[in-house]
Structure 1
Amino acid sequence: MPTYSYRCTECGNAFDIKQSFSDATLTECPVCGGVLRKVFSPVGVTFNGGGFYRTDSRATPKAEGSSSSGSSGSSSPAPAPAKTESKPSTPKPSTSAS
């Protein structure tokens, strides 16, 4: 249930009360019978850390030993290693000396 703050416009009495969304707004001060007004205050939201904009969809960091000097973030891909084809070995006929 949300907590609402009220302040009397005549005596200055201020208090907080838990009310359901469907409850009627209080209009009469319990101390002097004066008119009550709701007190609005900023919402207590705290953003911790460096910020979501820095970490969302961020590219993975490059290795520190990379030799790319471009600052645009796009670099040519590294050359693929050369492929060596291995030939199937054929069994050599055995030589037996009889």
Structure 2
Amino acid sequence: MPSYHYRCKNCGYDFSQYQSFDDDPITVCPQCHQEQVRKVFSAVPIEFKGHGFYRTDRSGGKD
């Protein structure tokens, strides 16, 4: 199950919640009980390992 990060716009409370893909997003803050909670989206880190990701990394074969 994926973990989603949420932040309340009213009180600023940050929290993470494991949820199924079928679950509705959380909208009510567990701290101030206002309907001001929104998902926080961030960039996913990508790490390239090994050879072949750049033109200069190939094994010396012909183009």
Q: TM-score range by the shorter chain?
A: 0.7 to 0.9
Quote the Cα distance in structure 1 between the aligned partners of 2:44 and 2:5.
13
Sequence identity (%)? 47
Deviations 1:16-52 (A, max 9, x none): 1111100010000000012101000110211234652
Q: What's 1:8 paired with?
A: 8
Q: Which has the higher strand share?
A: 2
Question: Which 5+ residue runs of structure 2 have no aligned equivalent?
Answer: none
Quote the Cα distance in structure 2 between the aligned partners of 1:51 and 1:9.
44
Quote the Cα distance in structure 1 between the aligned partners of 2:19 and 2:61.
47
- Say whether residues 1:55 and 2:51 are aligned partners: no
Quote the Cα distance in structure 1 between the aligned partners of 2:49 and 2:31.
41
Q: Which has the larger Rg?
A: 1
Q: What's 1:27 paired with?
A: 27
Shift of 1:12: 0.2
- Say whether residues 1:39 and 2:40 are aligned partners: yes
What is the TM-score with the length of structure 1 in the denominator?
A: 0.53
| Counterpart secondary structure, 1:52 | coil
In the alignment of these two chains, the number of paired residues is 60
Question: Which 5+ residue runs of structure 1 have no aligned equivalent?
Answer: 61-98
Structure number with higher relative contact order (C-alpha < 8 Å, ≥ 6 residues apart): 2
